[in-house]
Amino acid sequence: MKKLIKGLREFKASYVATHRDLLEQLSHGQKPRVLFITCSDSRIVPNLITQTDLGELFVIRNAGNIIPPYGAANGGEGASVEYAIHALGIDQIVVCGHSHCGAMKGLLQLNKLQEEMPLVYDWLKHAEATRRLVKENYASYSGEELLEIAIAENVLTQIENLKTYPVIHSKLYQGKLRIYAWIYHIETGEVLAYDPETHSYMPPQSQITEYSKDSSIPTRLISTMAPPVACEVPPLQVEEVAIVDHGNRTPEPGEQDALPWLSPEQAERIYRGTVSRR
């Protein structure tokens, strides 16, 4: 507590003293540009990672960066999503998972939680789609590799859940909303984001290209640590993040050069894509 109180004094003396105009402006209302959905993990600090200031991110945080499907829970996640899109006019959403996620570790051994942490058990059941997908499609994986797969697939599942919300569905239909999938790696501070143009995970700056609203660019997501790489998919009617099936193929020459910070083994897993999401 002493450290927190010391921090409050330093915040007032340094930040507040030099940002009075911003704080005065924010006292009249907020206009965040991005809804950032991530985990409650203390190692994840959205404003620090993205170097954004007060008022720029509208943040939803919980164990496992989970957004229950519309109508599945009475928690604050759905209300926050609805408020962010309808009341604040936010037109970009980032769902950010992270390495070494304790919630995903718990999800992979869900039954062990029921007695000791019943509330955690109940919460993680909202990620049952992730658990079942991983169990039924990645049976040959275990340990850290399986955890990496669960983390990546869970981000994609939450994007699917977001699409069940009427306010999200409507904005996507109009081409007025973009949803992005990120994975933050705690050990390196690196973020991987899927680039629909190159069909590979790239640094997030690959996602700032603005596409015309009438274009039908196929978009897809693959999980960062999964088995098998993109095949052709039909164009989408609106620009949105889509979950699609992938076939098997060998990465083209030079593709793995796009991820120089990854080991060959990691890059190979990424470029294998995701298994069929039936």
pLDDT score for 238: 30
Interhelix angle 128-137/143-162, rounded to 10 degrees, is 130
Q: Which domains does the chain have, with CATH numbers?
A: 29-271 (3.40.1050.10)
Q: CA angle 162-206-86, nearest 5°?
A: 30
pTM attached to this predicted model: 0.75
3-state secondary structure of 146: helix
Q: Which tens digits make up the pLDDT trace of 147-164?
A: 998 998 899 899 999 999
Mean pLDDT, the chain, integer: 78
The CA distance from 37 to 161, in Å, is 13
Flag whether pLDDT at 83 surpasses 70.
Answer: yes
Per-residue pLDDT of 216-262, as tens digits, reads: 222 333 333 333 223 232 332 333 333 333 333 333 434 333 333 34
Per-residue model confidence (pLDDT) at position 219? 39
Question: What long-range pairs does 131-136 form, CB within 8 A, spacing at least 24?
Answer: 131/107, 133/157, 133/277, 134/108
In this structure, are residues 137 and 275 in contact, taking their beta carbons and an 8 Å threshold? Answer: yes
Q: What is the pLDDT of residues 85-127, one digit of tens each?
A: 999 999 999 999 999 999 999 999 998 999 899 999 999 999 9
Query: Structure tokens of 15?
Result: 């930040």
